[in-house]
Amino acid sequence: MRIKNVSLALAGTAVMTTLAVTPASATTNLPSPSITGVLAVQKQAMANGAPGALTRIDFGASSYRIASGKADTAAGTAMDADRRFRVGSVSKSFTTVVLMQLVAEGRVDLDAPANDYLPKPLPDDRITVRHLLSHRSGLWDFTNDMFYHTVPGFEAVRNKVFSFQELIDLSTAHQPTVVPGATYSYSNTNFVVLGQLIEHITGMPMATHYEQRIFQPLGLRNTSYVHPRTTITGSYARGYLRDDDTTLPLVDSTEQTVSWAQSAGAVISNSADLNRFFAAVVSGKLVPQPQLQEMLSMVPVNVDGTQFYGLGLRGRALSCGVKVYGHTGTMQGYYTYAFTSADGKRSMTSMANTSNNGTVNAVLAGTLEAAFCGVDPTKSTKVARSGGEAFTEDIAPNVVRD
């Protein structure tokens, strides 16, 4: 294998991309990634308020690492593509792998009532384990209340430690949003319940399951679950949360317990590890084929039918006809897109270190088009682009912001 370093620049943004050259036969049958397209997206994300952004694309033995802007605005530290960050709802896919392994072991039945496995029953016995994994339980998302006011809500829970049951009780104090099984309704509560379920039936904490079932087998050396510790170790990007009053400065939201999310969003990782994880998921290295097919059985969840949800996995249909699988993540100060091709041979992770900014979130999705379709989404007329309209997120998904 031959290694060469390629230095690229776009509109004053310098980036070092390491490219490991490998024979074409070892790569998936997709267009070459557009590095200028990734850089254009990162530039656009920063123009709309992100301090920095990173992207890593892996296929075969090839790796593109692209980064722009700042990982730490106070210190002036440049972003690089190997930094660790809080992955937010990408954690849901990790939790799903643990749960589906338990299904494969015969310890959980997807279509059994979740109450069969919980220490305290949910109000509706019709809610199954499958409903939780597919966001069809109807359980109210407690983050709608917790983060209705973004920064005050965050500061109120930044250092708190919750039990699973405390969070579930915040949810069940509300009426359900839909009848169980009726329709997709994204709720962080679902994966908090799954965390409690896993711990209750196994007698082991989520941290142990992640470590023994995923991190160690895949050699994910930059991935951790440290709840309720507040720090990120090693080389990491700081996160910056935008206030609802956009005239106010960004809030450094890096240190927090993430106890409000736990099994729904508290994993820390980096781009290389996330790429390896999702490639392993779709390749059947973590979950047996029958359970993997359940995860990949998806239904559309948006109006134009380009976004899908299965069991703890998202699907995206891109402009070039390619469908990719993975998950998005929102954590205070971080947006993440981590997806892989259907064969697991090309994977991409992108992160921008801000949140509560729908334009940045929408723009960052363009790195999927650049990575898998080889286009510059900031110029392509085939790529649907959004921004400036009202939006919702993985956090407080029923709260519409401008």
Residue with tokens 């990173």: 54
Query: What pLDDT does 310 receive?
Result: 98
Lowest-pLDDT range of 8-12, 132-136, 279-283, 324-328: 8-12
Query: What pLDDT does 28 receive?
Result: 60
User: 3-class SS at 373?
Assistant: coil
User: 3-class SS at 23?
Assistant: coil
Q: Rounded to whole angstroms, how far apart are CA atoms 26 and 171?
A: 48
**8 A C-beta contact, residue 356 and residue 54:** no
pTM (2 d.p.) = 0.94
- Asked if residue 386 has pLDDT above 60, the reply is no
- Asked if residue 12 has pLDDT above 60, the reply is no
Confidence of residue 393 (pLDDT cuts 50, 70, 90): confident
**8 A C-beta contact, residue 222 and residue 85:** no
Looking at residues 42-62, what average pLDDT do you find? 97
Distance of CA 385 to the CA centre of its chain: 20
Q: What are the catalytic residues? A: 89
Q: How many residues does the chain have?
A: 402
Distance of CA 246 to the CA centre of its chain: 24
**8 A C-beta contact, residue 139 and residue 187:** yes
Confidence of residue 392 (pLDDT cuts 50, 70, 90): confident
Lowest-pLDDT range of 64-78, 89-103, 371-385: 371-385
Query: What pLDDT does 29 receive?
Result: 86
Q: Rounded to whole angstroms, how far apart are CA atoms 111 and 99?
A: 13
Please give the torsion angle defined by the CA atoms of residues 205, 208, 210 and 211, in that order, rounded to the nearest 10 degrees: 170
Distance of CA 203 to the CA centre of its chain: 27
Q: What is the mean pLDDT of the chain?
A: 92
Looking at residues 66-76, what average pLDDT do you find? 98
**8 A C-beta contact, residue 65 and residue 38:** no
